[in-house]
A and B are shown apart, each in its own frame.
Chain A
C-alpha cells in the first residue's frame, strides 16, 4: 500500500516474543497470589508463538528467556512500536527495567527508529498503551505516569495521545484492546466502562465497542493480514465461556482462541506476550 499516514492498522509482519524463565513461577510480579505451573505456562506460550508464526505467518523474533528477569516474557511492556518508530519504555516496576535491553537490540536489528525513554521520572508500561490506529490512549496506572505518557506523545507526534486513569487492574489493556479498526473490546466492569467513556469523550473519532462480560477476556490481539484478513486472537471458552461467545459476533474475523490460564496468574494477558510490528520490504 502506498505510504500513507495512519494507513494499515493491524498490518504486521513481525512479532517479537521472549521465552519464559523458570523464575516466573516464583518471582514474577503478580497482583494476586497464585501458584504458577511453569510447564503449563510454557506450553501456552508455545501455542501462542505457534499461532503467530505458523498460523498467521509472521516472522517471529524469539528472544531468549533470562532467569534474572522473571517477567521478561511480557515483552509488550518493554516497547511501543508504531509505524517505523519504536519507543523503548521505562517500565514502572523497577525489577523489570532491564528487560528493555534485549528488546532495544532486537528492534534496532529490525531497523526501526528507536527512541528511548531516558527521563528518570518517567515510567511507562506498554500494557498501558492502547493504539487505536488513529490515536493513543495511555492509561495512568501504577506502572505508568504522566511523564511517561508525555514522552510517548513526543515519540509519536502524528497522533493524539490522551490519558486515561486506570482505577483498577494492572494496565489499561487489562480490560480493553482493539478488535478491529474503530472497534474497542471492553470489559463490563465499572472501571472498564468508565475508562471507555473517557476514551470516547477524549476522542475525535467514533469507536464501536464490543463489551465482554470478563475484563480479562477483553484483552485480544487484532491483526489485519494480507492473506488472512481480520484476525483476532482471544481467550478460550474454557477460561471465559461467556466472553468467548461474544467474539463469535465478529463474523468477518478469523478467530483464534488461545489459552492464557497460567500466564494470567502473573497478570499476563494475550497482548503482553508479543510486540508486533510492520516492517515493509521497501523500508
Chain B
C-alpha cells in the first residue's frame, strides 16, 4: 500500500524489473503477480519464487510490516470491507489483493475489482485467505505474536478454507495479507492408483494437503501415512507437514503420492478396516514391485488373499480364467505356476469377507523380514556397499541380502549426519566400557540427511510415547530442527480407541494399482540415491534448517527442534547403566536449565556430576529416559576451493603410551570447499553448556594428570587455553553466536528471550525449510536463510559441531585410575607431524571450545576426541577434532602400527576431514630399570 500505484499488470512488471535496491516493493509486487491466477502459473511461480526466494526473511517482514502498518492505522477493526475499498480507491495496488480473492473464487475479471472485493469479504474462501494473510502479517510482526500465528496455522489447516466462521476480520492486517494467496492444483496418486486432485493455496503447508487427502479417503488413522514427492533427483521424499509445500517440492511440480509412512508392526491393532485396507494396498504394491521380497509360496498366499478381498469367493461354476488373473500383478516375476497356485489357494478362502481377507493378508505380510524396512544405499567404512534399513525396531545393516548388523533403538545414543556421512553412537554393551560410533557413507549429503530424518521419525513414532515436547528455553540448544511432528504410534493407538463412527463404507477397487505397478508407477522407492549431487547444491538444505528465522516461525510446530530425542527406557534392567550413561550433555543441559550461562557453573556442574539430589530435579528426563541425541550437521558454504572432501582441519594427536595431556593447538582454518565448510552442531549443547564443558574437561584432565604425575609439558598449555576459553565465554560466545547461523542463536542465548522471542517460538523457527539451495554467495543464501541474512552479510556463517560429553569420562577416569599406577619416572618423547597449514591459522585466537569424547573400546587404546570450533576473525569458523589416543601397554606394542591404525581409524571416522597434525607423545616407564 505504501508502494506506488499502478495497474496490477504494471505492478507485476515493475516488480520483475525492479532492482534489488527496491526489494521491498518488488517483492510485494511479485507476490501479487503470483496471485494472479493460474494462467502461466508456472512462469509466475518462477518469478515469484525467484524473487521472493532471494529475499531475506527480514526483508519480507519489513515489507509486510510496511504493508500492514498503514492499514493498522486505519480505523481498526470495523468492517474490513470498507477498508479494503478505501484502500482500493486510493491505492490501486490494493486491488491486487482483492483480485486475489477473486481468484480464489474463480472469478477472474480484473475489471470488477470493487465487486470482487465485496464478494471476497463474504466469501468463506476469502476469509480463509484472510486468515492466512493475518498469519503472515503476524509473522512479520513481533515474534511474540508468532505463538498466535501458530494457533492460527493450525486453525487454518484444520478448518480449511471452506470454513468462514473464524473471526477473520479481527485485524485489518489480515485482509491485506490475504491477498497473496494463490491456488495451485495438487495431484496426489492414491494407493489404489487413482489420482486425487485438489487445490491448495500456494503457501499451504504439507499438513494441509495431507489432511485433504485423508479427508477424501475418509481416513481417520492418518498417522501411519504420509505424502511423498519426488525431488529433482527423482528421489522420493516425505512431504514435511510443517513446511510449506512449495518450499519442498521442486520445479513447481505439484505431484504427490499418498503412502504408508510407518508400517504398523501389528496391523490387527488398527481400529478401522479402512486403515487396514489402505495398508494392504500399499503392501500389495510393495510386494508386487519386489520392494517387499517374499518367497513363491508367500506371493501366492498373499495373492490369494488379495483375490478374496477384491473379487470375493471363488466361483466353481465359472472358474476364473487365468487370463484375468494374469492381468494382475502379484509378484515381480509372476509365473503361470504362481497364478495357478494363487487360484488354488483362493479356493480355500471361501466365505472370507474382504475385511477378513485383508487381515489375513496383513497377518502374513507383517511377518516378512523386510516388512516396514526402509532401505537406503550406503557404504561402510571400508567402502563396501551395504544397505541401511530403518524400521520400527531400529537400524538394520544389510550386505546384499544378508543382515550383518542391527542396532536397536535403545542401543543408539545419537544419530547424526555430516555431509554424506551418517553416524550412530552406540551405547556400550555390558562388557564394553565405551561408546562407539559407527559411521556410514551415503551417496551424498541429501541421502545422508534423508536417512537421518527417517531415523528421527521412525524412532519418534515407534519408540516415544509422545513426540518430544518443545524444549524449554534453557533446553534449547543448537541442533537440528527437524523432529517428528505427528502423533506417535502410542498416541495414534490411543486416538484410535476413541474413534466412534460406524465403519465407513469404502469400495475395494479391483487393483488398478496392481496392474499399474508394472510400469513402476507409484511406489515408494527405495532410496537409490545414486547421483552425486553437486556440491554447490545439496549442502544448502541445511542452511535453512539452521537458520534462525524468527519471522518464519512455523505454526504447527510439528517438527520441533529439540535438544534431544528421548528414548523411553522401557528396559529398566539397564536403568543403572543408563543413568550413568546418560550423556553428560544431558547433565549439562539440565545444568544449564538450572543456571543461566554464567561462571558459577563449575560448581554446579560438579554437583551434577556427582548427581547430588539437587540434580535430580533438574535432570528430569534423565532419570526416566535414555536419550538419543540427534545431531545434524550443517554445511555452510563459503568461499572455497573446489569441492574437496576435506575441509575442516583435524588436529590429531596421538599420544603413545601413558598419554600426556591434551594439546590443544589451533590450526589454521581449513580449506573449505565451496559448499562444504561444515559445521555440525550438537543438539544438546547450549551455550552455557559449552562452557561448562570446558571446565569439566580440564578438570578431568587435571585429575588424570595428577594421578599419573605425568610430566607432559604440553598439558599446562592446554589447561591454560581451556581456562582462557572459559573465561572468555561470555564475550567470545556472544560474538560467536552472532556470527553463527541463526538457528543456533536462539538456543544458545537465553538472553535473547527478553527480546521477545520465547524459546518456544524459536524452536519453531528452526523448523523452516531446508529445501532450498542457497547459492554460494551471501546473497543467495540470504534467500533461504532468512534470518541468516544477517550472517550472510558478514561473510561466512559459522557452524559448530558439538558433541556430547558422555560418561565416557567417568569410564575413562576409572579405567585410568585403575590401570595407571602413579609412576615416578617417565621418559617423555614428543613427536609432531604436521600437515601443511593454511595461512591465517589462528593459533593465538581463543576459540570457543567444545569438547566431546568418543571412546573406542580398543583394548590398548583410549581415545579422546575433542571437537573444537573456533570463530576466527572473518567470522569464519573452523571445526577441528583433536583426538588423543592413549595406547598403554607393555613394551612389545608396535607403536608405529598402533599409531598408523589410530590414524587410519580417525580418517575413517571423519573421512571428510584431513589429518593435519599428529603429535606423538611417548612415555616410557623407566621405573623398573631405575629402581
Q: B649-667, CB under 8 A of A: which get 1 and which 0?
A: 0000000000000000000
Residues of A within 8 A of B731 (CB): none
Shortest B74–chain A CB gap in Å is: 64
Please report which residues of chain B, range 282-296, place their CB below 8 angstroms from some CB of chain A when the two chains form the complex. 293-296
Report the separation of the CA atoms of residues A163 and B348 in the bound assembly, to the nearest whole angstrom: 37
Is A240 an interface position by the 8 A CB rule?
no
> Which of A4, A83, A158, A162 is within 8 Å of B368, CB to CB?
A158
Contact A113 B403 (CB under 8 A): no
- With both beta carbons as reference points, the residue of chain A lying nearest to B403 in the complex is identified as A162
Contact A163 B298 (CB under 8 A): no
Residues of A within 8 A of B401 (CB): 150, 153-154, 157, 161
> Which of B301, B363, B402 is within 8 Å of A150, CB to CB?
B402
- With both beta carbons as reference points, the residue of chain A lying nearest to B405 in the complex is identified as A202
Contact B367 A6 (CB under 8 A): yes
For chain B, the bracket of interface size reads 20 to 34
Shortest A109–chain B CB gap in Å is: 19
Report the separation of the CA atoms of residues A204 and B265 in the bound assembly, to the nearest whole angstrom: 11
- With both beta carbons as reference points, the residue of chain A lying nearest to B404 in the complex is identified as A163
> Which of B293, B368, B402 is within 8 Å of A163, CB to CB?
B402
Q: A156-194, CB under 8 A of B: which get 1 and which 0?
A: 111111110000000000000000000000000000000
Is A85 an interface position by the 8 A CB rule?
yes
Please report which residues of chain B, range 846-861, place their CB below 8 angstroms from some CB of chain A when the two chains form the complex. none
Residues of B within 8 A of A134 (CB): 367
Contact B393 A83 (CB under 8 A): no
Contact B297 A84 (CB under 8 A): yes
Report the separation of the CA atoms of residues A160 and B402 in the bound assembly, to the nearest whole angstrom: 7
Contact B406 A203 (CB under 8 A): yes
Report the separation of the CA atoms of residues A133 and B401 in the bound assembly, to the nearest whole angstrom: 18
Is B190 an interface position by the 8 A CB rule?
no
Given contacts A157-B293, A157-B294, A201-B406, contact A3 B400 (CB under 8 A): no
Residues of A within 8 A of B393 (CB): 204
Please report which residues of chain B, range 454-485, place their CB below 8 angstroms from some CB of chain A when the two chains form the complex. none
> Which of B296, B345, B368, B405 is within 8 Å of A85, CB to CB?
B296
Report the separation of the CA atoms of residues A135 and B368 in the bound assembly, to the nearest whole angstrom: 10
Is B268 an interface position by the 8 A CB rule?
no
Report the separation of the CA atoms of residues A135 and B277 in the bound assembly, to the nearest whole angstrom: 27
Shortest B115–chain A CB gap in Å is: 65
Report the separation of the CA atoms of residues A150 and B403 in the bound assembly, to the nearest whole angstrom: 10
Is B364 an interface position by the 8 A CB rule?
yes
Residues of A within 8 A of B368 (CB): 5, 158
Contact B402 A158 (CB under 8 A): no
Is A235 an interface position by the 8 A CB rule?
no
Shortest A166–chain B CB gap in Å is: 15
Given contacts A135-B369, A160-B403, A163-B402, contact A3 B345 (CB under 8 A): yes
> Which of B301, B402, B408 is within 8 Å of A162, CB to CB?
B402
Report the separation of the CA atoms of residues A157 and B401 in the bound assembly, to the nearest whole angstrom: 9
Contact A5 B369 (CB under 8 A): no
Report the separation of the CA atoms of residues A201 and B408 in the bound assembly, to the nearest whole angstrom: 8
Report the separation of the CA atoms of residues A156 and B294 in the bound assembly, to the nearest whole angstrom: 8
- With both beta carbons as reference points, the residue of chain B lying nearest to A159 in the complex is identified as B369
Given contacts A3-B348, A5-B367, contact A202 B295 (CB under 8 A): no
Contact A83 B345 (CB under 8 A): no
Please report which residues of chain A, range 96-153, place their CB below 8 angstroms from some CB of chain B when the two chains form the complex. 113, 134-135, 138, 146, 149-150, 153
Report the separation of the CA atoms of residues A203 and B297 in the bound assembly, to the nearest whole angstrom: 23
Residues of B within 8 A of A163 (CB): 402-404
Contact B298 A5 (CB under 8 A): yes
- With both beta carbons as reference points, the residue of chain A lying nearest to B365 in the complex is identified as A5
Q: B783-809, CB under 8 A of A: which get 1 and which 0?
A: 000000000000000000000000000
Residues of A within 8 A of B402 (CB): 138, 146, 149-150, 153, 161-163
Residues of B within 8 A of A159 (CB): 369
- With both beta carbons as reference points, the residue of chain A lying nearest to B337 in the complex is identified as A113
Please tell me the number of chain A residues within 8 Å of chain B, measured between CB atoms. 28
Report the separation of the CA atoms of residues A122 and B28 in the bound assembly, to the nearest whole angstrom: 67
Residues of B within 8 A of A3 (CB): 301, 345, 348
- With both beta carbons as reference points, the residue of chain A lying nearest to B373 in the complex is identified as A160
- With both beta carbons as reference points, the residue of chain A lying nearest to B391 in the complex is identified as A204
Contact A158 B294 (CB under 8 A): yes
Contact A158 B403 (CB under 8 A): no
Contact B367 A158 (CB under 8 A): yes
Residues of A within 8 A of B363 (CB): 4
Q: A72-101, CB under 8 A of B: which get 1 and which 0?
A: 000000000001110000000000000000
Shortest B404–chain A CB gap in Å is: 6
Residues of A within 8 A of B298 (CB): 5, 157-158
- With both beta carbons as reference points, the residue of chain B lying nearest to A201 in the complex is identified as B406
Report the separation of the CA atoms of residues A134 and B371 in the bound assembly, to the nearest whole angstrom: 13
Shortest A89–chain B CB gap in Å is: 16
Shortest A279–chain B CB gap in Å is: 13
Residues of B within 8 A of A158 (CB): 293-295, 298, 367-369
Please report which residues of chain B, range 403-457, place their CB below 8 angstroms from some CB of chain A when the two chains form the complex. 403-406, 408
Report the separation of the CA atoms of residues A256 and B395 in the bound assembly, to the nearest whole angstrom: 41
Residues of B within 8 A of A150 (CB): 400-402
Report the separation of the CA atoms of residues A146 and B367 in the bound assembly, to the nearest whole angstrom: 24
Residues of A within 8 A of B348 (CB): 3
Shortest B328–chain A CB gap in Å is: 20
Residues of A within 8 A of B294 (CB): 157-158
Shortest A193–chain B CB gap in Å is: 11
Please report which residues of chain A, range 231-282, place their CB below 8 angstroms from some CB of chain B when the two chains form the complex. none
- With both beta carbons as reference points, the residue of chain A lying nearest to B302 in the complex is identified as A5
Report the separation of the CA atoms of residues A138 and B298 in the bound assembly, to the nearest whole angstrom: 22
A/B interface sample: 13 pairs, CB < 8 A: A4-B364, A6-B367, A83-B297, A84-B296, A146-B399, A150-B400, A153-B402, A157-B298, A158-B368, A158-B369, A160-B403, A161-B369, A161-B403
Q: Which 3 A-B pairs have the closest CB atoms?
A: A160-B369, A153-B401, A162-B403
A: which residues have CB within 8 A of B? 3-6, 83-85, 113, 134-135, 138, 146, 149-150, 153-154, 156-163, 201-204
B: which residues have CB within 8 A of A? 293-298, 301, 345, 348, 363-364, 367-369, 393, 399-406, 408
User: Assuming A3-B345, A5-B364, A201-B408, what are 12 further A-B pairs, CB within 8 angstroms?
Assistant: A85-B295, A135-B369, A138-B402, A157-B294, A157-B295, A158-B369, A159-B369, A162-B404, A163-B403, A202-B405, A203-B406, A204-B406
